[in-house]
């Protein structure tokens, strides 16, 4: 595959199979030539003799057997399906190895450090070495931007905000009341640190409760486009290191996410939700306020969570319940529906 040069850089390389295996944590199968050169990457069906591909889904077994790829990253249990002429690179987690291989061929591209003439930067903001500030960006009073970070066009960094080293703040994003670690990626249009949704209702209407907390973000976090993370009310909203959020996610005030969590598009966490390390919340799931999701738990798409979820469990449905219970309930309903459709004896 040759990426469109209008949007992407040309791939690095070529690389010898030995170098690729070392970079992606794989090992060469017996008989593979470690000096064989690989020029590019491609899917199984499009790959040619100079390309690297990968196989991780049994659904594409026929494509693996028919591939013309020069090398393929594959689990040892599927190596017998790799055709002659294709060198297997064996990995227990082919998808992870593939991601590392792609980063070898296409490392992240950083712009040349510069400050655009139309950027507005407070005189008392602190910018580290090799920072890039693009057109129309605003950096407020006493903000700190770590070395090597990029502030995208029309992004707004509010007063006192701390952006760590090697961060990327996308075009049009806004960051307020936030302290973030290093290598954080904030995609375009994201909103961090705005007021949480807090109010008190009385006979004359609603009174907004001041939101006096912050957003604290660890290292290596990625926050998707148009995602919103509200600041805490009295405490802080916390996003643990290594967490990944998709586009259009809502994180309410005082929520606390652990390390390595995955939050998929359009999921919403109400205020004061606590999510344990390495939990996964699938698309359009909603979690009611003040609940806890245990370490390593998994919540299915469109689930409505109204109870605490223990560590390691998988819950689905609305209202959400353990997956085994939900499947049994669906089976019973299906059986009842079929019985009602039968003629009377």
| Region of residue 272 (left: phi > 0; alpha: psi -120 to 50; beta: else) | left
Catalytic pick from 8, 78, 116, 253? 253
Indicate the average pLDDT of the chain: 94
341 pLDDT tier (thresholds 50, 70, 90): low
Minimal CA–CA distance to 74: which of 88, 58, 85, 60?
A: 88
10 pLDDT tier (thresholds 50, 70, 90): confident
Domains of the chain, each with CATH number or no CATH? 15-105 (3.40.1390.10), 173-324 (2.160.10.10)
Instruction: Report in angstroms the alpha-carbon separations of 133 from 128, 138, 156, 248, 257.
Output: 11, 9, 11, 25, 29
The rounded distance, in Å, linking the Cα atoms of 286 and 303 is: 6
Residues 72-116: tens digit of each pLDDT: 999 999 999 999 999 999 999 999 999 999 999 999 888 889 999
| 284's tokens | 């359009």
Residues 149-166: tens digit of each pLDDT: 999 999 999 999 999 999
Minimal CA–CA distance to 97: which of 65, 70, 71?
A: 71
Q: What is the dihedral of CA 170, 10, 56, 77, to 10 degrees?
A: -140
Tell me how far apart the 2 most distant CA atoms of the chain are, in Å.
87
Q: Is 290 a catalytic residue?
A: no
CB 193 within 8 A of CB 175: yes
> Buried b vs exposed e over 208-236: b needs ≥16 C-beta within 10 Å?
eeebebbbbbbbbbbbbbbbbbbbbbeeb
Instruction: DSSP letter for 39, please.
Output: -
């Amino acid at each position: 595959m040759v990426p469109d040069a209008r949007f992407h850089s040309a791939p690095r390389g070529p690389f010898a199979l030995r170098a690729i295996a070392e970079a992606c944590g794989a090992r060469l199968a017996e008989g593979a030539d470690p000096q064989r050169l690989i020029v590019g990457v491609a899917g199984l069906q499009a790959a040619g003799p100079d390309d690297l591909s990968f196989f991780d889904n049994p659904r594409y077994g026929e494509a693996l057997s028919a591939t013309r790829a020069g090398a393929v990253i594959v689990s040892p249990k599927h190596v017998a399906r790799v055709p002659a002429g294709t060198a297997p690179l064996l990995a227990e987690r082919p998808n992870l190895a593939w991601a590392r291989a792609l980063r070898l061929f296409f490392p992240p591209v950083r712009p040349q450090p510069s400050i655009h003439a139309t950027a507005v930067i407070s005189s008392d903001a602190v910018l580290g070495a090799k920072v890039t500030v693009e057109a129309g960006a605003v950096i407020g009073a006493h903000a700190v931007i770590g070395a090597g970070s990029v502030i995208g066009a029309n992004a707004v960094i509010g007063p006192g905000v701390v952006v760590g080293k090697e961060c990327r703040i996308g075009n049009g994003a806004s960051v307020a009341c936030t302290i973030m670690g290093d290598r954080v990626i904030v995609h375009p249009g994201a909103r961090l640190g705005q007021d949480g949704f807090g109010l008190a209702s009385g006979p004359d209407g609603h009174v907004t409760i001041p939101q006096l907390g912050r957003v604290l973000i660890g290292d290596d976090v990625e926050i998707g486009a148009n995602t919103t993370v509200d600041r805490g009310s009295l405490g802080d909203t916390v996003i643990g290191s290594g967490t990944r959020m998709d586009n259009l996610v809502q994180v309410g005030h005082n929520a606390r996410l652990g390390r390595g969590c995955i939050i998929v598009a359009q999921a919403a966490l109400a205020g004061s939700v606590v999510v344990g390390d390495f939990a996964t919340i699938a698309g359009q799931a909603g979690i009611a306020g003040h609940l806890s999701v245990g370490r390593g738990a998994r919540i299915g798409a469109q689930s409505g969570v109204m109870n605490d979820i223990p560590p390691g469990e998988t819950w689905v449905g609305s209202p959400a319940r353990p997956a085994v219970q939900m499947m049994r309930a669906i089976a019973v309903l299906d059986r009842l529906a079929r019985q009602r459709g039968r003629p009377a004896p």
